[in-house]
Amino acid sequence: MKDAATTASPAAPACPAAPASPAALASLAALASPAAYAEAVATAVRAAAAYYADGATPLGDDEYDALVRAIEAYEREHPGEVLPETPTGKVAGGAAVGDVPHSAPMLSLDNVFSAEELESWAAGLERRLGHPVAAWCVEPKLDGLAVAARYRAGRLTRLLTRGDGLAGEDITHAADTVLGLPARLAEPLDVELRGEVLLTHEQFERANAVRTAHGATPFAHPRSGAAGTLRAKDRAYRLELTFFGYDALGLPGLDHGDLLARLAELGVGTAAGTQAAPRRCATLAEVEQRIGEIAGMRAALPFGIDGVVVKADAAADQERAGSGSRAPRWAVARKLRAQHKVTRLLGVEWNVGRTGIIAPRAVLEPVVIDGVTVTYATLHNPADIERRGLMLGDQVFVYRAGDVIPRVEAPLVDERTGAEQPIAFPEACPRCGDAIDTSEQRWRCVRGRGCQTVASVIYAAGRDQLDIEGLGGTRAVQLVEAGLVTDLADLFTLSREQLLTLERMGDTSADKLLAAIETARTRPLNRVFCALGIRGTGRTMSRRIAAHFGSMAAIRAADAEALAAVDGIGVEKAAVILAELAAVGPLLDRLAAQGVGVGVTEPAAAVTAPPTAADQGGSVGPLAGQSVVVTGSMTGALADLSRNAVNELIERAGGKASSSVSKRTTLLVAGEKAGSKRAKAEELGVSITTPEEFAVLVADFLP
């Protein structure tokens, strides 16, 4: 990140793959005075120095880039005020040091942040060449540290950091820990390899496990881990790193793609062996496509990338274009949004999972990472919190990639103010109050799955599930604590005598509760299924599953493929539902023995419920083929219906109920205080109706 130059104007629009913030931040933070400029320079210099030392800077990559752009903009307007310490135009922001001269300068790369900026950069290059670029090469921008590895007669003799580009630090002592950097090449050549050293995700995890086992603090970031590891001399342990070569001195005349192939031949690691392999592209359109592909596979790559590098592939083009003092003119980095951000740890929540595992979750000051606002992050387990030495109020590094659950990596210890507080660990199960088994890394309620009983009974008895009136939180706790209910099926075995043993349970309440439970026995399949609390199956999905399979027996007989045939269930969700169904198998058997969920097929169940469109003469109803969304508060005939009941009504009338407005939505029922969904429907030209008009439309299907 510390390459303090960009080629394009700060006002250029950012494309989706580019950091959203830099251009925006830079214009927001337009430097209005010499004092603001001086402060920005000081901040950038401090950040570059911290980054170079160990990578743990409170300024994220995106913010640093934005700051440098603002500084550049100011310097363009006030050329007479440029401070000598400015990071602009300097390799490593001017922060790096080293005393071994490089055989040729180790250059940096200019950055672009959008397709438009890339296009104008390419046009500039072609103008300079006086002809179109012969071919492009597109490859990942590896998020590590640049090194130079000197070989004499095929033997590795010296390893250097980039330093300030002219001289670097000698880190030869670390050479034998770097995969991809052989002690001996396949041929006895005199060459100098240039490339990036990094910790792959696996190496990063392993490094942190080893470090914490040695009582050291874990690395906050793979790059700071790689930087620290390359420099460390007296560690009691050895950590493995990875090298990917992308350049070489001493192998002249090769086009870039051929150079990479030659490096691989010599036994050197390159990105060619990875999913994001460098690719030759004939046109800029192909280049853009490959950038999109590499950006898209970022989360799945086994190592971090912070951009995509576009290079003129032909040696002749490179030679003709030449280099500036800081960067070559034939290559440019298209930056991607940072996946690591710094934010504050506000609190820790302790959630009890269905198996009784008590898992800590970090509550964060909201931070946008790669376009998504992150408010929570996983903390794995209590031992992990201790290993990472986290405190409430800490500035922390948070990592988020693709669909991976964001995680807190480590605190920025140097940023502590003294106001940080220790994180309190629970002494009793936060859900049921019973003891915690702390013998394993992952803490667990001693009741295991049983801890869930109270919560699952309350859920199952809820209005949209079995709708058992009189069975709220207090009663559920009483029943479970008295040992009368250990799972949902026990509810249906309760006797009057048993109920009367409970405190504050008189004859009338007992009779009422028994009657409510009796009614629940005949609830339609979709509600019985929903009551099971299977992950990924809320009310809508339960209705779809019930309608699709028709009976509990058919649901239980379904394999993943059959489940995935239900609208809205993908392959992943099907696997989760299948596993959960297997886990509740014994419960389903016991429920079946009580006559719950058996014999009721979905259409038969509907006999006790209002008629369905199918009952009314086929699969057509007034809403056949419609995708309906309901928003705002309902009035008129719909006033007393829960949202779930309105959705059930839509489906009975032959329509599909959905919770969000999209292009596929055909009708929005907008009640009072309808907000963003109404606006979206208007924008998309979706028909909008009032609850009253809608009630007339579906009058035959009202409960």
Sites of contact with ligand IVH (CB under 6 A): 3, 107-109, 139, 141-142, 146, 196, 246-247, 309, 328, 331, 333
By beta-carbon proximity to ligand IVH, the closer residue of 223 and 677 is 223
By beta-carbon proximity to ligand IVH, the closer residue of 37 and 244 is 244
Catalytic residue among 90, 141, 311, 573: 141
Count, residues in the chain: 703
CB of 158 to ligand IVH, least distance (A): 18
Instruction: For 206-259, give the DSSP string.
Output: HHHHHHHHTTPPPPSSHHHHHHHHHH--S-SS---EEEEEEEEES-TT--HHHH
**DSSP at 451:** G
Cα 251 → chain centroid:
41
CB of 570 to ligand IVH, least distance (A): 35
CA angle 420, 426, 429 (to 5 degrees): 155
CA 310 vs CA 249, 298, 330: distances in Å: 20, 16, 8
CB of 56 to ligand IVH, least distance (A): 19
For 72, residues 6+ apart whose C-beta sits below 8 A from its C-beta are 5, 6, 10, 88
Question: Which residue's CB comes closest to ligand IVH?
Answer: 146
CB of 371 to ligand IVH, least distance (A): 22
CB of 140 to ligand IVH, least distance (A): 6
By beta-carbon proximity to ligand IVH, the closer residue of 14 and 333 is 333
By beta-carbon proximity to ligand IVH, the closer residue of 108 and 644 is 108
Task: Indicate the pairing of strand 191-198 with strand 241-249.
Answer: antiparallel
Tell me, yes or no, if 141 is annotated catalytic.
yes
User: Which residue has 């007989």 as its token pair?
Assistant: 557
By beta-carbon proximity to ligand IVH, the closer residue of 108 and 452 is 108
Helix axes 115-129, 284-296, angle to 10 degrees: 140
Helix axes 539-549, 643-652, angle to 10 degrees: 30
By beta-carbon proximity to ligand IVH, the closer residue of 28 and 104 is 104
By beta-carbon proximity to ligand IVH, the closer residue of 102 and 211 is 102
CB of 278 to ligand IVH, least distance (A): 8
Cα gap 142→244, rounded to integer Å: 8
Cα gap 645→345, rounded to integer Å: 40
Handedness of CA 202, 207, 210, 211 (dihedral sign): negative
**Beta strands in 118-205, from DSSP E residues, in sequence order:** 136-142, 145-152, 155-161, 167-168, 178-179, 191-198
Which residues are paired to 368 by β-bridges? 373
Cα gap 542→537, rounded to integer Å: 6
CB of 334 to ligand IVH, least distance (A): 11
| Token pair of 58 as six digits | 């409170």
**Beta strands in 616-695, from DSSP E residues, in sequence order:** 627-631, 656-658, 667-670, 687-689
3-state secondary structure of 440: coil
By beta-carbon proximity to ligand IVH, the closer residue of 56 and 332 is 332
CB of 162 to ligand IVH, least distance (A): 6
By beta-carbon proximity to ligand IVH, the closer residue of 327 and 563 is 327
For 586, residues 6+ apart whose C-beta sits below 8 A from its C-beta are none
CB atoms near residue 508 (< 10 Å): 8
CB atoms near residue 292 (< 10 Å): 15
94: left (phi over 0), alpha (psi -120 to 50) or beta: left
Give catalytic residue positions.
Answer: 141
